[in-house]
Chains A and B, each alone.
Chain A
């Protein structure tokens, strides 16, 4: 016996234990997300998936759906807050999209377009985050990290390597790799790892394949993320 809730006024069926985001997706409704991934339990850190339930903001990727809930998602108010969260992520790191290998395939950039981000609004932090080019196949450009921990989770839970971890706290939080030298080249990281292929932005990138797909023909180039993401079936 499946139950239902209202998503932006439309009824959505769900199974016990499904989160709001899972049930909405199954019914064809997109909710923006960055740290959520279908292969992992919810993380709840990016807050792009916020929705309003009974006047309160909740993380739709983490909150189990309940019978009769009234969920507001695609509203000017919530999208405005999501846009501001994306703006915050842009000023926190150093994102020079034009020179980034991930441009066009980047979820952060695609969300910025989709949420009509017209400018960064907030003051830039310009953090000093040196790149790590010590690995033969992969490059780490920490400037673009949004701390979704997908690489951390994939490496720990799927690859069984724990190549990545976060250290520091607050605005000084940063990614480290599993080596005393601090260099990726000294870990057992491999380009076949799930962690090597999961970064939603342009931190973990392959060497020497730069711009193999021309800009203009990339994932989010002709269609916005709210369509592409639903076609992916993820």
Chain B
């Protein structure tokens, strides 16, 4: 039979390379698109056939991720980062200029199929923006001159590989180093220490460190690892969350670029502690440019017996790491959405409980940790838990990496012991005349001047790392509106309050921006915020109200000056509007009227 089979198509070859596993669907879609430019209906049918899964599933997944295209895009596809800090640097004007030079409307494809230009959420280049992605590659430090050059290169159809290398330069911009960024560790040193100490002693050190997760929620790492270690099931998994989607956050980018060994070593330390044999690093699509170097580091670590079978001669310690790519979806940073995405599905957050530590990747006990959390475990393995806990505060031990952007002289990465005051950070990064700081990204908190004495710590101002600075020339309404647009764009759409609430909030903010707002709109906004906070399925929806709640509280005049009048007459009476329905259905009983019906009575 075999000899009669037709040779595999490009899709068939890609599917073969992924072992024909349906849980590789997202990776397959990414690679097929690399080859074919976009995912046409015929290509989707072919992928479904090759993977032996329903076509509807493939279409469902392909339509979820922003970097997968179910409609054609230009041969040059440019996505301007649209975070507020890029906007403050003129990204909207630069995008308009490029569109007009190339005769293309935003979001459309030029008639000759040459180019398409659109916006995307923060791409993690806030310290060297404005930035864009061209066919997936980050291009930094945009200026009008650079935009002119880009227009020329596109018009001449110069292959991207031949564009000036300088365009694609990404700097680390580290301005303050402490324990982690100052670490100079030979690969394997931390692992040797932990294996030497033995599994149980290593967990004791981790416990003593009181390390808490750096990805946002601040969960105690040792508690998570112990729960996974003690969960039933032998095939445990360690996942590194490198989705870094929170606007204004770019510290994981720097760790992956310059300390990849420490990150992989942290994953291996986790595997040693919980008894895992499989590891995944989930790398956001925006950071795909880091993939080749990361793969090289993995290969080196395998060659040094820091990965693979019998790691460092320890019989039975088998662990390896695979890198999976995301494709443009902030929600996939939420750990259960991330697991769905790793399984090749739509990135929809799961119902919890059960939690990943017992039912994670493919239902197996799974540890999910942030890049920075994992890198920090190396410090604990090397110097002990107590030494780690000696810095920071009692509830927030160790240091924190901040990604600073916005109105300051020296944007970039700053590592501080937890407990540092916001005003100290502002001074160090060269910020003056500051009106507000957004700590923790769009989902974080807006601090006004009278709060700058507050401290970066889980018990005061928690943060996954973003620190965006706004001087007195900025309008905080524009900031909040930008974040609202972000959440509406990134809502996965699973649950009612967030899917509809973020879209309604976006409409309400647009109405205010256009000067059509009335006081009633502020009341509606507060009501939507309440539903988002109380009823959302995951942290995305729950946090989507934060920027508006905070700025309404602390910068209310910027909203009120946009109101047309302070009152509003609702001009709609549903019972009257239902008169037509009553006529059509021939009803006029009490139940056909909207008055006095009590639920549950």
Question: Which A residues fall within an 8 A CB radius of B?
Answer: 30, 32, 42, 44-48, 50, 57, 59, 62, 64, 74, 79, 81, 84-85, 88-89, 91-92, 97-99, 103-104, 113-123, 125, 146-147, 156, 161-173, 176-180, 182, 215-216, 221-222, 224, 226
Contacts and interface: CB of A to CB of B under 8 A. Distances in A.
B545 to A, nearest CB: 14
Contacts of A85: 496-497, 531, 535
A44 B495 contact: yes
A162 B351 contact: no
A169 B531 contact: no
Interface in B60-87: 60-64, 70
A176 B524 contact: no
Contact of B351 (A62, A89, A97, A179): A62
A44, A59, A170, A216 interface centre (most CB from chain B within 10 Å): A170
A169 B494 CA distance: 8
B507 interface: yes
Contact of B59 (A92, A123, A125, A167): A167
Given A30-B600, A180-B45, A121 B524 contact: yes
A87 B145 CA distance: 50
Given A81-B530, A171-B499, A97 B493 contact: no
B59 A103 contact: no
A210 B534 CA distance: 40
Contacts of A47: 495-497, 535-537
B36 to A, nearest CB: 16
B500 A92 contact: yes
Given A46-B495, A171-B488, A180-B42, 17 more contacts: A44-B495, A47-B537, A50-B534, A84-B527, A88-B531, A92-B500, A113-B597, A114-B597, A114-B599, A115-B599, A146-B496, A168-B64, A169-B491, A169-B493, A170-B491, A171-B491, A216-B587
B594 interface: yes
A166 B346 contact: yes
B367 interface: no
B500 A50 contact: no
B502 A170 contact: yes
A74 B600 CA distance: 7
B353 interface: yes
Contact of B572 (A48, A97, A119, A169): A119
Contacts of B60: 165-167, 176
Nearest to A34: B496
A183 to B, nearest CB: 12
B382 interface: no
Interface string B496-529: 1101111110010000000000000000100110
Contacts of B394: none
B537 A44 contact: yes
A150 to B, nearest CB: 14
Given A81-B535, A113-B591, A171 B574 contact: no
Nearest to A98: B581
B6 interface: no
B351 A167 contact: no
B55 interface: yes
Contact of A98 (B493, B496, B580): B580
Given A57-B534, A117-B574, A167-B63, A45 B494 contact: yes
Interface string B563-601: 000000010111100001100111100010010011110
A30 B599 CA distance: 10
B503 A44 contact: no
A178 B54 contact: yes
A171 B507 CA distance: 12
9 contacts: A92-B499, A114-B600, A119-B574, A122-B504, A123-B507, A166-B493, A171-B499, A176-B60, A182-B41
B493 A170 contact: yes
A152 to B, nearest CB: 8
Given A81-B534, A84-B527, A123 B504 contact: yes
A8 to B, nearest CB: 9
B599 A171 contact: no
A141 to B, nearest CB: 17
A64 B351 CA distance: 11
Given A45-B494, A171-B488, A215-B585, A74 B599 contact: yes
Nearest to A50: B535
A34 to B, nearest CB: 9
Given A47-B537, A118-B594, A224 B599 contact: yes
Interface in B104-133: none
B154 to A, nearest CB: 28
B491 to A, nearest CB: 4
Contacts of B492: 169-170
A165 B59 contact: yes
Given A180-B41, A216-B586, A116 B64 contact: no
B415 interface: no
Question: Quick one: which of B503, B530, B573 has the most chain A CB within 10 A?
Answer: B503
B57 interface: yes
B490 interface: yes
B44 interface: yes
A167 B64 contact: yes
In the A-B complex, the 6 residue pairs with the smallest Cβ-Cβ separation, listed nearest first, are A167-B63, A162-B54, A165-B56, A173-B493, A98-B581, A215-B585
Given A113-B597, A226-B599, A122 B351 contact: no
Contact of B599 (A46, A79, A178): A79
B524 A57 contact: no
Nearest to B498: A170
A171 B491 CA distance: 8
A216 to B, nearest CB: 6
B489 interface: yes
B329 interface: yes
A156 B61 CA distance: 16
A202 B9 CA distance: 42
A170 B489 CA distance: 7
Contact of A171 (B500, B530, B597, B600): B500
Contact of B500 (A88, A117, A215): A88
Nearest to A88: B500
Contacts of A224: 597, 599
Given A47-B496, A79-B599, A88-B497, A176 B490 contact: no
Given A88-B496, A92-B500, A169-B492, A215 B587 contact: yes
A45 B597 CA distance: 26
B524 A122 contact: yes
B484 to A, nearest CB: 13
A97 B63 contact: no
A89 B584 contact: no
- The winner among B500, B527, B594 for most chain A CB atoms within 10 A is B500
Contacts of B573: 119
A163 B503 CA distance: 28
Contacts of B500: 88-89, 91-92, 122, 171
Contacts of B572: 119-120
A167 B348 CA distance: 12
A46 B490 contact: no
A180 B493 contact: no
Nearest to B500: A88
